[in-house]
Amino acid sequence: MRIVDARVIVTCPGRNFVTLKIVTDEGVTGVGDATLNGRELAVASYLRDHVVPLLIGRDPARIEDTWQYLYQGAYWRRGPVTMSAIAAVDTALWDIKGKVAGLPVYQLLGGRSRDGVTVYGHANGETVEDVLVEVARYVDLGYRAIRVQCGVPGLPKTYGVSADKLFYEPADAALPSEATWSTARYLAHVPTVFARVRDEFGPTLRLLHDVHHRLSPIEAARLGRSLEPYALTWMEDPVPAELPEGFRLIRQHTTTPVAVGEVFNTIWDAAQLIREQLIDYIRTTVVHAGGITHLRRIFDLAALHHVRSGSHGATDLSPVCMAAALHVDLAIPNFGLQEYMRHTDATDEVFPHGYHYADGYLHPAETPGLGVDIDEQAAARYPYAPAYLPVNRLEDGTVHPW
Ligand code: EZ4
Ligand code: CO
């Protein structure tokens, strides 16, 4: 079997997605997600201009060899653009291998390690009262784990808090919007929110919180300590992810578990944090960390060091990425949680998929391959529209320095 075509499809059914579709001479096709929020066209060009010409004529069965060829062959290793492009190729080749074998991809990864993939949803609101309503809604839907984000009194807009529920889009403007940040206001408010949520929903519901890399290490240590009475499952991205030393300092001060990694793109970004047991959950996912092949390598390293997976799953991870992530989640021994933000109806129409939610779990499709596709005619109705994540400023106007 040979690869005869590889199409890069850019579409915007409510938000931008980049998808690679690989076509073989025997008619078998595979899809991979290549979406990099706010930098979509850079990955589309990397694929179209520098990767697709290298794929034509290759044997699609050689997944590991193709990964090494693209990673080592470029000379310029790592980085989100490169690794998202490699991820798309890798994911599409796993899809093809599953279809050729007649098996869902999780079977090729060793088979099922659990009955379903436990997911968490996003409960967010401007006020604590709004948040309680949203948490109740997720509880009613059967969710076992819920991420809680609340507006901060005195700040006009808080990242991760939106009027839209079940899904919302943080990349909200054709030129970046601006948000204001105050560590003092934030640290004073967050523990009061979790006190109310625990009070209302009891001690066993799994609760999470995302700091979005906004704190210094000692501030994050203080937040972790102030949240200890509410027994969070994790405190996410407490400090900027690129400085492992910051996590060491957090660890010295608090037993609140720590999750990080949605911005990581290789095992090298995570290795020290995992080896030194400075984190509890590693949040890398298929599209930004080199595909199923490389993500599995990261999670295997994590398993050696008692670190669980907690893959990123916001709206910018397309249904193609979500489908692929679920196969990995189902198969690995050290699965923790999977983030799940639902997509818009338009997105679901462009990406027909067989995974489904039931009673707090996601279940991948049982069809051969990944169980997801792209409807190229539907995709063509939604042309690319520039959209960026917001920029964060301190109250005195400084761009938040980390
Ligand atoms: O900021 O997906 O955990 N989820 C998050 C998301 C990310 C966006 C970035 O593209 O932090 O809201
Ligand atoms: Co996050």
Going through 127-273 in order, the beta strands assigned E by DSSP cover 145-150, 178-181, 206-210, 234-236, 258-260
Name 333's Cβ contacts closer than 8 Å, sequence gap at least 6: 113, 303
**Is residue 300 within 8 Å of 110, Cβ to Cβ?**
no
Intervals of CATH 3.30.390.10 along the chain = 3-104
3 state SS of 9: strand
Question: Is 159 labeled as catalytic in the residue annotation?
Answer: yes
In a mutational test of the pocket of ligand 1, which residue from 311, 316, 338, 341 has the highest number of ligand atoms less than 8 Å from its CB? 316
Atom 8 of ligand 1: nearest residue by CA position: 314
Place of tokens 């761009």: 399
Atom 11 of ligand 1: nearest residue by CA position: 212
pLDDT tens digits for 320-346? Answer: 999 999 999 999 999 999 999 999 999
Closest ligand 1 atom to 38 CA: 10
pLDDT tens digits for 3-45? Answer: 999 999 999 999 999 999 999 999 999 999 999 999 999 999 9
- How remote is the CA of residue 238 from the centroid of ligand 1, in Å? 13
3 state SS of 372: strand
User: How is residue 286 annotated by DSSP?
Assistant: T
- How remote is the CA of residue 54 from the centroid of ligand 2, in Å? 34
Kindly state the helix (H) or strand (E) to which residue 227 belongs, with its residue range: helix 217-227
Among all bound ligands, the one having the nearest atom to the CA of 315 is 1
CATH number for 108-366 (one of 3.40.190.290, 3.20.20.120, 3.20.20.140, 3.30.930.10): it is 3.20.20.120
Place of tokens 């930098």: 39
Distance CA 255, CA 262 (A): 22
Output the ligand 1 site: residues, CB below 6 A: 37, 160, 170, 210, 212, 262, 312, 314, 316, 339
Taking only Cα atoms into account, the Rg of the chain, rounded to an integer number of angstroms, comes to: 20
Task: State how beta strands 258-260 and 391-394 pair.
Answer: unpaired
Angle, CA of 281, 393 and 237, to the nearest 5°: 5
* pLDDT in the model for residue 162: 87
| Domain spanning 3-104, CATH class | alpha beta
**Is residue 210 within 8 Å of 236, Cβ to Cβ?**
yes
Which entry of 69, 168, 212, 253 is annotated as an active-site residue?
212
Kindly state the helix (H) or strand (E) to which residue 156 belongs, with its residue range: none
Chain-centre distance of CA 236, in angstroms?
A: 12
Among all bound ligands, the one having the nearest atom to the CA of 314 is 1
Written as six digits, the tokens of 175 are 């030129």
Among all bound ligands, the one having the nearest atom to the CA of 260 is 2
- How remote is the CA of residue 122 from the centroid of ligand 2, in Å? 11
pLDDT per residue as tens, the chain (402 positions): 999 999 999 999 999 999 999 999 999 999 999 999 999 999 999 999 999 999 999 999 999 999 999 999 999 999 999 999 999 999 999 999 999 999 999 999 999 999 999 999 999 999 999 999 999 999 999 999 999 999 999 998 889 898 888 888 899 899 999 999 999 999 999 999 999 999 999 999 999 999 999 999 999 999 999 999 999 999 999 999 999 999 999 999 999 999 999 999 999 999 999 999 999 999 999 999 999 999 999 999 999 999 999 999 999 999 999 999 999 999 999 999 999 999 999 999 999 999 999 999 999 999 999 999 999 999 999 999 999 999 999 999 999 988
Place of tokens 């409960």: 123
What global pTM score does this model have?
Answer: 0.98
Distance CA 380, CA 373 (A): 14
pLDDT tens digits for 102-133? Answer: 999 999 999 999 999 999 999 999 999 999 99
pLDDT tens digits for 160-173? Answer: 898 888 888 899 89
Place of tokens 């609340």: 150
Task: State how beta strands 361-363 and 356-358 pair.
Answer: antiparallel
Angle, CA of 178, 183 and 186, to the nearest 5°: 90
Distance CA 23, CA 25 (A): 7
Written as six digits, the tokens of 367 are 């069809």
Which entry of 69, 159, 357, 384 is annotated as an active-site residue?
159
In a mutational test of the pocket of ligand 1, which residue from 212, 315, 322 has the highest number of ligand atoms less than 8 Å from its CB? 212
Intervals of CATH 3.20.20.120 along the chain = 108-366
Atom 2 of ligand 1: nearest residue by CA position: 314
Atom 4 of ligand 1: nearest residue by CA position: 314
Among all bound ligands, the one having the nearest atom to the CA of 15 is 1
Atom 10 of ligand 1: nearest residue by CA position: 37
Written as six digits, the tokens of 79 are 């980085």
Place of tokens 């078998």: 28
- How remote is the CA of residue 381 from the centroid of ligand 1, in Å? 26
Closest ligand 1 atom to 314 CA: 2
In a mutational test of the pocket of ligand 1, which residue from 17, 158, 210, 283 has the highest number of ligand atoms less than 8 Å from its CB? 210
Residues with a beta carbon under 5 angstroms from ion ligand 2: 210
**Is residue 77 within 8 Å of 295, Cβ to Cβ?**
no
Atom 6 of ligand 1: nearest residue by CA position: 314
Closest ligand 1 atom to 171 CA: 10
Closest ligand 1 atom to 236 CA: 3
